Amino acid sequence: MANMGKTVEDYYRENTGDSYGDMLCKYHPQVLSDFEEEMEKWWGRRWKANNPTGNLRMVLLHRPGREFLSVGKPTPWPPHASHLGAWRQAEMPNLDEMIRDHENLVKAFQNEGVEVVVRDPDPNDPPYQVKSIYCDDVCHPAVYGQVIFRMYDHLRRGEEVPTSTTLARIGCPVVGMVMGKGMIEGGSVGWLDEKHLVIGVHYARGNTREPDVTRANEFGHQQFAQIVRWQDPDVDIRFCPGYGGYLGLTHYMMIDKHTSVQNPKWLDHYLVDWMKAEMSWQFIPPPPELCYTDDGGLTWGPEVGVLLEPMKVLVPAGRDAARRWLESIGVTVVEVECSSLVMPRGTGTIHCCTGALIRDPGNQRLAGSRTHER
């Protein structure tokens, strides 16, 4: 009872000779520091992956699981259809084969010295997130750390949760999350180097005529851009059209610094002008017989998969003509059998399957690389 009425200041004065406020001023001043500079000290790793051609060090993958056993049953979202189209599947999935292909992919990365993190499983009962294998869509590197995106449809909405828990488990800082009515998916977001970022407004599926949907997509992209600007105001961020295929997914086609396997005619000419003026971009047009144009009007060349390091790529096995051509322009090609996870049997690529968590910082274009526009 004798202590009643004493304040914190009283105790500090009696025991230290200073009031609590004076003690704070003398011995505990505010420390001005930079989050990025302290990342390794407090977060254990250099959590940066915004250099698309730096040597790949850590990736996020998802192991196919019981969610694929839900295919063929009524979807848990309206209109509760059970056909393959409702599940966005081209065939009935063979879970055993998909797991084998996933394990092939894990081993291929590990053989190249890349650390693999497997995302937490679908937490729903019963699980249904059959597009969880495409980890590149759900989170994306800002200048440092990862931003949790917000998926656009019933099938993929909710993948944000196991992605967040996985990043927390491995100690990767989540530096932002798309909120409100915002929508954004990683396929249309691409770092071209550490100072240049392109964001397509909801391509590749395109926008609708509904203004609220369009604004939600724009709001999602604006949120990601703002997080990047907070971290580095010098990043040049370009928004690409919400309709049509003019983004061209250059970040999926890079083989070296500022170099992509693309015909510049596939892109909006103003986008090409910017890439050449700002980054001296070099395009290597592939042979027409190795290209195809999808339903959205986007033309693709031979898949370059995941860039492991400059002029070295990981691609699906069995595409011999594409492999030979890539090797002819100086690219080292590593093949992996994963056909059940990628196009045409799936709806994504190895790049879609792979969330880049750590890459090395900026690199120079390899000397002697055959990187020229033809």
Sign of CA dihedral 98, 103, 107, 109: positive
pLDDT for the residue numbered 11: 85
Amino acid at 348: G
High-pLDDT (> 90) share of the chain, %: 77
Using alpha carbons, list the distances in angstroms from residue 30 to 21, 24, 26, 27, 310.
13, 9, 11, 10, 42
Query: Higher pLDDT residue, 19 or 230?
Result: 230
pLDDT for the residue numbered 332: 98
The torsion angle over the Cα atoms of residues 59, 97, 187 and 370, rounded to 10 degrees, is: 70
What digits encode the pLDDT tens for the residues 341-355? 999 999 999 999 999
pLDDT for the residue numbered 370: 44
Sign of CA dihedral 37, 42, 43, 46: positive
Is the pLDDT score of 142 beyond 90? yes
Nearest Cα residue to 253 out of 150, 329, 336, 338 = 329
pLDDT for the residue numbered 369: 46
pLDDT for the residue numbered 246: 58
Structure tokens at 101: 């292909």
Phi, psi dihedral angles at 252 (to 5 degrees)? -90, -5
- Any idea which of 19-33, 114-128, 221-235 has the lowest mean pLDDT? 19-33
- Cα separation, 143 vs 265, in Å, equals 30
Is the pLDDT score of 373 beyond 80? no
Q: DSSP 3-state assignment of 346?
A: coil
pLDDT band for position 235 (cuts 50, 70, 90): very high
- Cα separation, 35 vs 106, in Å, equals 31
- Cα separation, 10 vs 18, in Å, equals 9
Is the pLDDT score of 205 beyond 80? no
Domains defined for the chain, CATH in brackets? 46-359 (3.75.10.10)
Sign of CA dihedral 358, 363, 369, 372: positive
What digits encode the pLDDT tens for the residues 95-140? 999 999 999 999 999 999 999 999 999 999 999 999 999 999 999 9
pLDDT for the residue numbered 374: 38
Strands (E), 232-341: 236-240, 254-256, 259-260, 282-283, 292-293, 299-300, 306-309, 312-316, 332-336
- Cα separation, 116 vs 355, in Å, equals 10
What digits encode the pLDDT tens for the residues 262-303? 999 988 888 999 999 999 999 999 999 999 887 767 788 999
Query: Higher pLDDT residue, 199 or 256?
Result: 256
Average pLDDT, the chain: 92
DSSP string, 142-200: -SSSEEE-B-SSTTTTTTHHHHHHHHHHHT--EEEE--TT--B-GGGEEEEETTEEEEE
Is the pLDDT score of 206 beyond 80? no
Residue identified by tokens 């001296």 is 280
Phi, psi dihedral angles at 59 (to 5 degrees)? -130, 160
**What is the phi-psi region of residue 162: left when phi exceeds 0, alpha when psi lies from -120 to 50, beta otherwise?**
alpha
High-pLDDT (> 70) share of the chain, %: 92
pLDDT for the residue numbered 311: 98
Phi, psi dihedral angles at 355 (to 5 degrees)? -90, 115
- Cα separation, 129 vs 159, in Å, equals 7
**What is the phi-psi region of residue 115: left when phi exceeds 0, alpha when psi lies from -120 to 50, beta otherwise?**
beta
Is the pLDDT score of 366 beyond 80? no
What digits encode the pLDDT tens for the residues 308-335? 999 999 999 999 999 999 999 999 999 9
pLDDT for the residue numbered 364: 58
The residue-averaged pLDDT of 13-41 equals 92
Upper half-sphere CA count for residue 183 (Cβ side, 13 Å): 19
Q: Provide the whole-model pTM.
A: 0.92
How many CB atoms lie under 10 A from the CB of residue 297?
11
The residue-averaged pLDDT of 40-54 equals 97
Amino acid at 176: G
